[in-house]
A and B are shown apart, each in its own frame.
Chain A
Amino acid sequence: MEREINHPRRLAAVAVLALAATPAWAEDAAGKIDPADTAWMISATGLVLMMTIPGLALFYCGMVRKKNVLATMAQSFACTALCSLLWFIVGYTLSFVGDGSWLGTFERLFLRNIGMDATSPFAPTIPELLFVVYQMTFAIITVALVAGAVADRMRFSAFLWFAAGWLIVVYVPIAHWVWGGGFLARAGLLDFAGGTVVHLNAGIAGLVAAYVVGKRHGYGTDNFSPYDLSLAVIGTGLLWVGWLGFNGGSALGANSRAVFAITATHLAASSGALTWMFLEWWTRGKPSVLGMITGAVAGLGTITPASGFVLPWHGVVIGLIAGAVCFCACTWLKRCLGYDDSLDVFGVHGIGGVTGTLLTGVFAVAALSASPDAPGSSGLLEGNPRQLLIQLYGVVAVLLWSGVLTYILLKVIAFLIPLRVSEQHEIEGLDLTQHGEALQ
């Protein structure tokens, strides 16, 4: 079955069908607003925002101890508000306006000069303002993801400074490089919905932040068992559903490619969840709920860069690999390296992001990204080993920039204010000491 689909002539047929069914997507950058594309992208924007509030907030807060539940939710919530305003002021224009290799321009500062008919060259069939808000939700969740690595101990004020700085100096340049026409886009890096920009970026930043902020008090000796995993299960459900808008929406239109992306995404989440579950069952004796939901998130993060470039069965394989690789990262690699990444941002999103970005270079099917002007991008399986090298180049570039700049940013903030709460406050809990509230 798969082999048949992979046959070049079959692929050409798939491409023709896909194009015939989706004239809006196939059109070049003429900039005519399409109602169907606009409707889907408004929905997708809502889905992606839902991933952070309440999705990620619930996923994260269910995994910390009772005394830090509200503080963990506060990080996701504050991130949403703060990053939205920064995206409005400067984030969008520096990411997606202009054709510089490294950074955009200030032309759309405060979203000036965007009229009713304006479209972005990156999404020519929807209003530019919709593209702005859609991309805003990506910036929000990426910053909110990093928070999981420093949960239970980072001061709220320091976190706000970090979130604001990190959005500007790390997220914005990388989004421009990969999606805004920067040097990685020109090199041909394939990242459909954020394997490098979102997951690898947040993962490596989380790892660096976990090292700089330091281990939690009592790490390795005290009982850090989660307060309420049922909250984490609900959060994962919201993430999973929202992810259909995250990856499906990255097609930037209501078309077949969005449906291919949604299908691969859903299948990868499913095979990721089952892989982690069975591995844990086999090695630890019980199939834990935390394992199942972590496997699903690993599958979702890993399929993200590949989702619009691959066939459904690739999604199943990518999810399977994701479940296995991230399981090893969280249970074995983490112990070997000795870092305290509270909620495994690096083990799940960092490792998943690298894996998915590289696998995109393996599995990419040209027919899915083909247009009348361009043949589409092939991966290793279609006889294009060079794509894998380009993917590796993208991984290294993002890894270095995110890792180094996160380190510098945290050191600068630490020079001005303490990064973490006092030991006494950490023992007492962040809910009470940072926010003056507590669960009863």
Chain B
Amino acid sequence: MKLVIAVIKPFKLDEVRDALVAVGVHGMTASEVKGYGRQKGHTEIYRGAEYAVNFLPKIRIEVAVPSERVAVVVDAIIASAKTGQIGDGKIFVTAIDQAVRIRTGETDVDAL
């Protein structure tokens, strides 16, 4: 089992969700986060006063998938979240030690 964590542009969330549903992903968790990478924020100007906004709003989605599905899921996220502009985000993949569905007590791949 792997956990795919993707940090994407907020307006891309619906497209990414549709793409993941299309490749058979049944569920995901999304949260509003702030962060920066190469995009490094932007400058806002109010009546001549300039403020550097370092942390930009992003959406972080988490998807737990069987190990053999990782490549398909990652490709789907890349295809749907990509604009080609700086600030498109990143994808991280980590291992999951255990998964449990609370309602039924099912474990691991059955719980995904």
Q: Report which A residues bind B (CB closer than 8 A).
A: 63, 223-226, 280, 284, 286, 288, 290-291, 294, 330-332, 334-335, 344, 347
For B52, what are the chain A residues with a Cβ–Cβ distance below 8 Å? 223
Could you say which of B31-39, B41-49, B59-67, B84-92 contacts chain A? B41-49
Q: How far is the CA of A334 from the CA of B46 in the complex (A)?
A: 13
Q: Count of A-B contacts with CB under 8 A?
A: 31
CA distance A284 to B48 in the complex (A): 8
Minimum CB–CB distance from A61 to chain B (whole Å) comes to 15
Bound complex: CA A230 to CA B13 (Å): 25
Which residues of chain B come closer than 8 Å to A224, judged between CB atoms? 46, 49, 51
User: Does B111 lie at the interface of the complex (its beta carbon under 8 Å from any beta carbon of A)?
Assistant: no
From DSSP, what is the main secondary structure of chain B's interface residues? strand
Distance of A235 Cα from B84 Cα, bound (Å): 40
Q: Are the CB atoms of A223 and B53 closer together than 8 Å?
A: yes
User: 30 A–B contact pairs at CB < 8 A?
Assistant: A63-B46, A223-B51, A223-B52, A223-B53, A224-B46, A224-B49, A224-B51, A225-B44, A225-B46, A225-B51, A225-B53, A226-B46, A280-B45, A284-B45, A284-B48, A286-B45, A288-B45, A288-B46, A290-B46, A290-B47, A291-B47, A294-B47, A330-B47, A331-B47, A331-B48, A332-B48, A334-B48, A335-B48, A344-B47, A347-B47
Distance between Cα atoms of A223 and B51 in the complex (Å) = 6
Chain A nearest CB from B79 CB (Å) reads 32
In addition to A226-B46, A280-B45, A331-B48, 18 A-B residue pairs with Cβ atoms within 8 Å of each other are A63-B46, A223-B52, A223-B53, A224-B46, A224-B49, A225-B44, A225-B53, A286-B45, A288-B46, A290-B46, A294-B47, A330-B47, A331-B47, A332-B48, A334-B48, A335-B48, A344-B47, A347-B47
Closest residue of chain B to A284, judged by CB? B45
Which B residues, 52 to 82, have Cβ-Cβ distances below 8 Å to chain A?
A: 52-53
| Chain B, residue nearest A222 (CB) | B51
Tell me, in angstroms, the Cα distance from A292 to B49 when the chains sit together: 15
Closest approach, in angstroms, between the C-beta of B9 and any C-beta of chain A?
20
A226 to B51, CA, bound (A): 11
Q: What chain B residues lie within 8 Å of A286 (beta carbons)?
A: 45
B contact residues around A330 at 8 Å (CB)? 47-48
* Residues of chain A contacted by B45 (CB below 8 angstroms): 280, 284, 286, 288
The residue of chain A having its C-beta at the shortest distance from the C-beta of B49 within the complex is A224
Of listed A225, A280, A291, A330, residue having the most chain B CB within 10 A = A225
Give the residue name and chain of the A residue nearest to B47 (CB).
A330
Chain A residues, Cβ within 8 Å of B46: 63, 224-226, 288, 290
Question: In the bound complex, what is the Cα–Cα distance between A331 and B49 (angstroms)?
Answer: 7
Q: How far is the CA of A290 from the CA of B51 in the complex (A)?
A: 14
> Which residues of B lie under 8 Å from residue A284 when comparing CB positions?
45, 48
Q: What residues on A are CB-neighbors of B48 within 8 Å?
A: 284, 330-332, 334-335
Which of chain B's residues have a CB closer than 8 A to the CB of A63?
Answer: 46
Q: Residue of A at shortest CB range from B50? A: A284
Closest 9 CB pairs of A and B: A331-B48, A223-B51, A330-B47, A225-B51, A284-B45, A225-B44, A290-B46, A225-B46, A330-B48
